[in-house]
Amino acid sequence: MLLFGTGLGTAFYLWMAYRSRDIYALRITARNVILADWIFTAPAVIIQATTGILLMDHLGWSFASLWFVTVISLFLFIGACWIPVVVLQYRIRDIAMQSSSFELLPVRCHQLMYVWVCLGVPAFSAVLLLFALMVYKPWLGESF
C-alpha cells in the first residue's frame, strides 16, 4: 500500500504542478517528489520484495507457480519503468531550477514530462494489477 499510495500521490502532485504552469510550484514539487521516492518508494520496493520472497518460502509456495512468475514479472516491469522515471524527475527538476518562468522552459522539459507520463501510466496500471494479484492470489497452485 505504501508503494501504491506514494506512487499515486507523487505522480498526482508532479503532474498538477506541471499543469499549473507555475515554475515555482514545479521546482518545489519535483524536488519533493524525488525526496519522497527515496524516503518512501525505494524502501517500500526493497521491503516488499524481501518480505514477499520470505513469506513465499515460509508458506512453502512454489516459485515456479504461474502466480509468482506473473507477480515477479510485473514487479520487474514496474521497476523498469520507475528507474527511468526517477532519472526524468531529476532532469525535470534541474531544468525547472534553471528556468526563470514556465513559458521559458525548453522544449526538452516538456518532452521529458511526456515520457514521464508514458512510463508512469503503464507502471501505475501494473501496480494496480500487482496489488490485486497479491490480494486474490489466482493461479497459486498452477505451475509452468
Q: Could you read off the pLDDT of 38-73 as tens digits, one per residue?
A: 999 999 999 999 999 999 999 999 999 899 999 999
Between CA 109 and CA 92 the distance in angstroms is: 6
Q: What is the mean pLDDT of residues 72-99?
A: 96
What pLDDT is attached to residue 1?
79
Q: Which residue type, as a one-letter code, is found at position 130?
A: L
pLDDT band at 144 (very low <50, low <70, confident <90, very high): low
Q: What is the mean pLDDT of residues 75-94?
A: 96
**Which cell numbers hold the place of 1?**
500500500
What pLDDT is attached to residue 6?
87
Between CA 63 and CA 67 the distance in angstroms is: 9
Chain-wide mean pLDDT for the chain? 93
31, exposed or middle or buried, with CB in 10 Å at 0-12, 13-18, 19+? middle
Q: What is the mean pLDDT of residues 99-123?
A: 97
pLDDT at residue 79 greater than cutoff 90: yes
pTM: 0.88
What pLDDT is attached to residue 4?
84
